[in-house]
Structure 1
Amino acid sequence: MNDRLARAWTDAAEGYEAYFVPRFAPWVSDAVNALRDLPDGPILVPCCGTFPELAGLSARFPGRELVGIDLSAGMVRLAAERAAGRANVTVVEGDAATLAPQWTESCAAVVSVFGLQQLPDPAAALRSWTGALRHGGRLSVVYWPGQVERDGPFARMAALVRARVGASDRTWEDAVRAQADHDEFLEHPMSHEDAATFFDAYTRSGPLRALAAARGDAFIADLRTEFLRDAPPGEWTHHPRARHLLLHKEITPPT
């Protein structure tokens, strides 16, 4: 599973950087700007992808050690290019779902945007990320919930895929929300040149890359035909909403 997912995101990396990173930027800013009053220590970014969080983190916390972790070699390569010349930034190719023991209670913050919902056990991953926080540290995680929108390209795609391959297990959502101190919905507008442009980006450079590789060209061609049927003409603007989890690891008072 991990190898297949890593290959899919490596194949999608350049397209993802070009198409989705600019469109996801408002949520990245939300996640980064939620961090404040941090203790000493590095900021860890699991599922960093091409590391779009880097600019905001560097501006808010100049000189702070920043570490990005991602399973995909292609994403790590682009993230390393983004981090080039920054001595305080490290990008690691590895499993972000279960952090290495070296991170336990050592990090000032953990921030992650749109990686949690891709992991095989999001609730366990969030526990691992929380365990990396030192006392006083903060966690800021943004993910796509089961229902991102009622109407729009994400909703249309989800319905078509669900009809063909079945619904994904979303029982983990209650478990991750229970781990947070606070959760909220964050909605921002997003636009696409047209329905076909969105579909091609979503299946070639987005979340459906792995399914497209597994099911083949005929499956995607059929899905594309159905997706474009009755889709609105011209530019398509919608308002997806993500979920934002916040946690502050309280400082333990002396006994």
Structure 2
Amino acid sequence: MTAEHLARVARGWDEAADGYEAYYVPRFAPWVAAAVRALPAELPGGPVLVPCCGTFPELDVLTGHLPGREIVGIDLSAGMAARARTRAAGNSLVHVAEGDASELEPASAAAVVSVFGLQQLPEPDAALRSWTGALRPGGVLSVVYWPHSTEPGGPFTVLSDVLRERVPAGDRSWEERLLPALKGAVLELDEPLAFPMVHPDADAFFTAHTRSGPMRPLANVRGEEFIAELREEFLRRSPAGEWPHRPTARHIVARAAGQA
């Protein structure tokens, strides 16, 4: 991924930050809580790193689950990082860094936790390898991400199907390389993680996803006419009224070799 493309992605998330906080943070809260609570109380010394922290929804759960622990959020988007700093204001144990979250300093962390950031990175398997390498002996990694298929017939899938007819799918072979990327760590959990989610209607979901979600960078590049065409087809295939669904993420937990 070129520097220009990374800048475009970051700019898209800058613009999406406020809407993401309002629309998606409440809906993603159960997955965030599950990822954080998978971290044990017994950890080695050092901070908890949160790559791809976005607006930092993990923070409130982390401070309650691991009181007194230093926490560092990292995000490529300046807009997201600004939102994260606002959430962390007044807590001297919390720091937010703006930068590439796919590469972490080796042996620097007691734990790494990330929710729904991994699948957005240029090389997710390489990122997971770096995150695993960032753990100190006995440290724990807890990562939740959206796999290729989240549920049949749900809004994520319907929108993906409509998009694939217009934009080629990216290479998802990295999913097969995730477990081998956990080199130097013992896999403790690898399971689907599903919770209910509700959208006011299909149009509200589409608007959130293209203005305040992962499709904002694409919307910026392809323009209003493309998005209008996409919306029309998405709504044609979607149910009327409130849209409840139960998407399934994947949750991976691994512990670095050695004693905490």
TM range (shorter): over 0.9
| Match in the other structure for 1:137 | 139
SS in 2 for 1:232: coil
CA distance in 2, matches of 1:228, 1:40: 51
Looking at structure 1, the residues matched to 147 and 36 of structure 2 have their Cα atoms a distance apart, in angstroms, of 19
**Which structure 1 segments of 5+ residues have no match?**
none
1:97, distance to aligned residue in structure 2 (A):
0.8
Which residue in 2 is equivalent to 1:51? Answer: 56
1:220 to 220, 227, 232: 227
Does residue 20 of structure 2 align to residue 16 of structure 1?
yes
Pairing partner for 1:64 from 65, 69, 89 = 69
Q: Alignment partner for residue 195 of structure 2, among 174, 178, 188?
A: 188
Give the match for residue 32 of structure 2.
28
2:35–2:144 Cα contact (<8 Å) kept: yes
Count of aligned pairs = 250
Check the 8 A contact 2:71/2:94 in 1, yes or no.
yes
Q: CA RMSD in A?
A: 1.2
Structure 2 residue matching 1:237: 3-state secondary structure: strand
Note the alpha carbon deviations across 1:219-244, whole angstroms, 9 max, x for none: 00000000111421111000100011
Deviation at 1:38, TM superposition (A): 1.2
Q: Which moved more, 1:227-236 or 1:206-215?
A: 227-236
Contact 1:177/1:183 (8 A) holds in 2: no
CA distance in 2: counterparts of 1:87 and 1:110, whole angstroms: 19
Encode CA deviations 1:197-222: one digit per residue, 9 max, x unaligned. Answer: 01100100001101111111100000
Within 2, Cα distance between the matches of 1:13 and 1:127? 27
What fraction of aligned residue pairs are identical, expressed as a percent? 60
Contact 1:113 1:143 in 2 (8 A): yes
Question: What is the alpha-carbon distance in structure 1 between the residues aligned to residue 130 and residue 238 of structure 2?
Answer: 41
**Which residue identity lines up with residue 20 of structure 1 in the other structure?**
Y
For structure 2, which runs of at least 5 residues remain unmatched after alignment?
none
Q: Give the distance between the partners of 2:107 and 2:97, measured in 1 at CA.
A: 19
Segments of 4+ in structure 1 off by > 2 A? Answer: 177-180
Equivalent residue number for residue 125 of structure 1: 127
Query: Is the contact made by 2:158 and 2:238 (CA closer than 8 Å) also made in structure 1?
Result: no
Paired position in structure 1 for 2:172: 170
Distance of 2:6 and 2:253 partners within structure 1: 27
* Pair 127,230 (structure 1): closer, same or farther in 2 beyond 3 Å: closer
The 3-state SS of whatever aligns with 2:111 is: strand
Query: Contact conserved, 2:103 with 2:127, CA < 8 A, in 1?
Result: yes
- TM-score normalised by length of structure 2: 0.94
What SS does the aligned partner of 2:257 have? coil
Q: Which residue of 2 aligns with 1:157?
A: 159
Q: Which of 235, 240, 250 is the aligned partner of 1:243?
A: 250
What amino acid is the match of 1:197?
Answer: A
Q: Which residue of 1 aligns with 2:82?
A: 77
Query: CA–CA distance in 1 between the matches of 2:31 and 2:207?
Result: 22
Deviation of the 1:178 alpha carbon? 3.0
Q: What SS does structure 1 have at the residue aligned with 2:9?
A: helix
Partner of 1:216, secondary structure, is: helix
Is 1:210 matched up with 2:217? yes
